């Protein structure tokens, strides 16, 4: 595969051989958060091209298999299966190892879908996989028969490898348990870690992936607006806010609401990262973290901090303004480093010292992470290790970056998070929900 070239500023990629004139925009359409395509299709406008999306994702996997000397990838993680085959049948069986896919180097993927109506639906829904959908052999929870069923699963994979003349090559596997590993080893396969190849493919986004991430961010922004101006009132429980966000986002095209964190008042310090049945009181600071799977599987993950009563005129105290501004400034200091050619060390150096430094591990509170068809995709950035082990930031990576005023003995505190595209021109913030006006004044 030829690596994707940087699109010139005056044009966007071609459609059927014709260049799309975007000179009036000055950059590719996908880089502009205000230029948002509808989730629907139309005859009068070229929007997200799902056929191109599928082909470009597969091509990126193929490129990484060549780079890492893999004869094939065997995928069990639901997001990886979707990335390779564009197959999705709900979240319930996404990551329980009951379906899988084989992607031969230089060949087309083969999907092993759960038998019965699931298999029938896959054959109806995935015409681009015609002739390459087979029944999955399940071995999980096969009490008394796990080795036997795992062996049959391995047989089905090896059959595809032999059909493509790849049984003696390095076979990358993304995720497997001991019974599966033992079953593959009995075939004498050269099993290697396939996750790095998948990760490197997924972490740099295609133009259509970016458009879908933009759609997801627009739904998240709208939900945050509703929270601030309509739903956040004294006497409302944290879980009531959570439930309203669920309903709103599902109605607007999200596939799954992964998790909605609502922490108010004392639940912000120390920060409880889940919603409770606590009543929200007037004057509470309220941290809301929206994590959801948007249209066609792409995530939104961002945070805002509100004051209960703020939309009705209650003022922030100077202490609250200082905490909010501390978080905002540290977040944007790191965000400004999300540029092609910089490294994760540049970003981590902008974060405040926290327990990442103290314990040498990731707190997920002063950090950044790439997102896509999973919440955590490609890389995490933390002072725990990024300063010593930097990784390159590349164009068209997409990050959530988040910081926190996690000082001890605070009555309540603040936290924020943005979603950011790494463009050739620098970071582009896709989450557009405004920040607290009082804290933005200098």
Q: Which two tokens stand for residue 272?
A: 């409880």
Residues of the chain with CATH 3.90.230.10: 204-440
**13 band by pLDDT with thresholds 50, 70 and 90:** low
**15 band by pLDDT with thresholds 50, 70 and 90:** low
C-alpha span between 263 and 303 (Å, rounded): 11
C-alpha span between 339 and 427 (Å, rounded): 6
C-alpha span between 47 and 168 (Å, rounded): 43
Q: 170-173 and 72-75: which strand pairing?
A: parallel
- Please give the pLDDT value at position 442: 66
83-87, 92-96, 284-288, 426-430 — which is least confidently predicted? 92-96
Q: 133-135 and 110-113: which strand pairing?
A: parallel
C-alpha span between 203 and 210 (Å, rounded): 11
Q: Three-class SS of residue 344?
A: helix
Q: Phi/psi at 217 (nearest 5 deg)?
A: -65, -35
Residues of the chain with CATH 3.40.350.10: 52-201
CATH homologous superfamily of 52-201 equals Creatinase/prolidase N-terminal domain (3.40.350.10)
Which residues, 6+ apart, have CB-to-CB distance to 150 below 8 Å?
139, 179, 180, 182, 183
The helix-helix angle for 238-251 and 207-226 (nearest 10°) equals: 140
**125 band by pLDDT with thresholds 50, 70 and 90:** very high
C-alpha span between 258 and 264 (Å, rounded): 20
Please indicate, yes or no, whether the overall pTM of this predicted structure exceeds 0.85: yes
**24 band by pLDDT with thresholds 50, 70 and 90:** confident
Residues 247-296: tens digit of each pLDDT: 999 999 999 999 999 999 999 999 999 999 999 999 999 999 999 999 99
Q: Answer yes or no: is pLDDT of 6 > 50.
A: no
Of residues 276, 286, 291, the one with CA closest to residue 237: 276
Beta bridge partners of 285: 307
Alpha helices in 146-275 (DSSP H): 146-163, 178-186, 195-203, 207-226, 238-251
In 66-158, the DSSP E strands lie at 72-75, 100-104, 110-113, 133-135
- Please give the pLDDT value at position 7: 39
Q: Answer yes or no: is pLDDT of 432 > 80.
A: yes
Q: Answer yes or no: is pLDDT of 341 > 50.
A: yes
- Please give the pLDDT value at position 420: 99
Q: Answer yes or no: is pLDDT of 423 > 60.
A: yes
Q: What is the arithmetic mean of pLDDT over 340-359?
A: 97
5-19, 87-101, 331-345, 349-363 — which is least confidently predicted? 5-19
What percentage of the chain has pLDDT greater than the value 90? 90
CATH of 204-440 among 3.40.50.150, 3.30.70.640, 3.90.230.10, 1.10.1740.10: 3.90.230.10
Q: Exposed e or buried b for every residue in 281-316, given b needs 16+ CB within 10 A?
A: eebbbbbbbbbbbbbbbbbbbbbbbbbbbbeeeeeb
C-alpha distances in Å from residue 341, one per residue of 66, 128, 384, 394, 395? 24, 37, 21, 6, 8
pLDDT averaged over every residue in the chain: 94
- Please give the pLDDT value at position 27: 84
């Amino acid at each position: 595969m030829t690596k994707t070239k940087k699109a010139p500023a005056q044009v966007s990629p071609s459609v059927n051989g014709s260049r799309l004139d975007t000179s009036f925009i000055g950059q590719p359409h996908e880089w502009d958060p205000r230029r948002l395509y509808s989730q629907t299709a139309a005859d009068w406008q070229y929007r997200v091209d799902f056929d191109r999306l599928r082909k470009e994702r597969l091509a990126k996997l193929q490129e990484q298999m060549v780079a890492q000397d893999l004869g094939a990838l065997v995928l069990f993680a639901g997001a990886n299966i979707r990335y390779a085959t564009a197959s999705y049948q709900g979240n319930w069986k996404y990551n329980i190892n009951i379906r899988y896919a084989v992607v031969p180097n230089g060949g087309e993927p083969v999907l092993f879908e759960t038998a019965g109506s699931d298999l029938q639906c896959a054959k109806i829904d995935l015409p681009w996989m015609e002739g390459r959908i087979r029944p999955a052999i399940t071995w999980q929870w096969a009490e008394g028969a796990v080795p036997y069923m795992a062996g049959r699963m391995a047989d089905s994979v090896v059959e595809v490898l032999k059909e493509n003349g790849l049984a003696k090559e390095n076979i990358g596997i993304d995720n497997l348990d001991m019974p599966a590993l033992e079953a593959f080893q009995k075939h004498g396969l050269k099993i290697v870690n396939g996750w790095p190849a998948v990760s490197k493919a997924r972490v740099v986004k295609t133009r259509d992936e970016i458009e879908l991430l933009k759609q997801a961010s627009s739904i998240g922004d709208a939900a945050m607006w509703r929270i601030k101006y309509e739903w956040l009132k004294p006497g409302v429980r944290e879980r009531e806010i959570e439930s309203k966000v669920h309903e709103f986002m599902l109605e607007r095209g999200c596939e799954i609401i992964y998790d909605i964190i609502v922490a108010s008042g004392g639940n912000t310090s120390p920060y409880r990262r889940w919603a409770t049945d606590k009543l929200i009181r007037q004057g509470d600071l309220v941290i809301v973290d929206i994590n959801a799977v948007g249209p066609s599987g792409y995530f939104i993950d961002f945070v805002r901090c509100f004051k209960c009563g703020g939309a009705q005129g209650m003022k922030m105290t100077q202490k609250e303004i200082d905490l909010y501004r501390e978080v905002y400034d540290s977040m944007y200091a790191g965000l400004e480093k999300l540029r092609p050619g910089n490294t994760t060390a540049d970003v981590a150096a902008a974060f405040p010292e926290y327990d990442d430094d103290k314990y040498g591990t990731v707190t997920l509170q002063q950090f950044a992470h790439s997102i896509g068809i999973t919440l955590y995709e490609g890389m995490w950035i933390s002072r725990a290790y990024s300063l010593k082990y930097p990784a390159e930031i590349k164009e068209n990576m997409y990050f959530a970056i988040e910081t926190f005023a996690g000082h001890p003995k605070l009555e309540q505190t603040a936290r924020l998070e943005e979603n950011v595209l790494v463009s050739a021109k620098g970071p582009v913030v896709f989450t557009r929900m405004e920040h607290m006006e009082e804290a933005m004044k200098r």
